[in-house]
Structure 1
Amino acid sequence: MTAKIRYEDVEPGTELPAASFPVTRATLVQYAGASGDFNPIHWNERFAKEVGLPDVIAHGMFTMAEAVRVVTDWVGDPGAVSEYGVRFTKPVIVPNDDTGALIEVTAKVAAKLDDEARTVRVDITAMSAGQKVLGMSRAVVRLA
Structure 2
Amino acid sequence: MLVYKELQAGQRLEPLVKDPVSKVQLVKYAGASGDFNPLHTDDAFAQKIGMQGVIAHGMLVMGFLGEYAMKLAGDSAILTNFKMRFGAVTVPRDSITCSAIVNKLYEDDGQRFVSLDLFAEKGPEQVVGSGQVVLQFQ
Q: TM-score, with normalisation over the residues of structure 1?
A: 0.84
Equivalent residue, structure 1, for 2:118: 124
5+ long unaligned stretches in structure 2: none
Residue identity opposite 2:74 in structure 1: G
The whole-number CA distance in structure 2 between the counterparts of 1:34 and 1:110 is: 33
Of 26-35 and 44-53, deviating more is 44-53
Residue identity opposite 1:52 in structure 2: G
Residue identity opposite 1:41 in structure 2: L
Task: Give matches, 1:1-144, under 5 Å.
Answer: 5-22=2-19, 23-77=21-75, 80-94=78-92, 100-115=93-108, 116-130=110-124, 131-135=126-130, 137-144=131-138
The whole-number CA distance in structure 2 between the counterparts of 1:20 and 1:142 is: 24
- What number of residue pairs does the alignment pair up? 135
The whole-number CA distance in structure 1 between the counterparts of 2:81 and 2:114 is: 11
1:61 is paired with a residue whose SS is helix
**Displaced runs of 4 or more, over 6 A:** none
The whole-number CA distance in structure 2 between the counterparts of 1:78 and 1:32 is: 32
The whole-number CA distance in structure 1 between the counterparts of 2:107 and 2:56 is: 35
Aligned residues with identical type, % of pairs: 31
2:97 is paired with a residue whose SS is strand
Residue identity opposite 1:132 in structure 2: V
| Distance change in 2, residues 1:129/1:11 (3 Å) | closer
Deviation at 1:129, TM superposition (A): 4.3
| Distance change in 2, residues 1:139/1:125 (3 Å) | same
Q: What RMSD in Å do the two structures reach over aligned CA positions?
A: 1.9
The whole-number CA distance in structure 2 between the counterparts of 1:58 and 1:70 is: 18
Deviation at 1:125, TM superposition (A): 1.4
Q: TM-score, with normalisation over the residues of structure 2?
A: 0.87
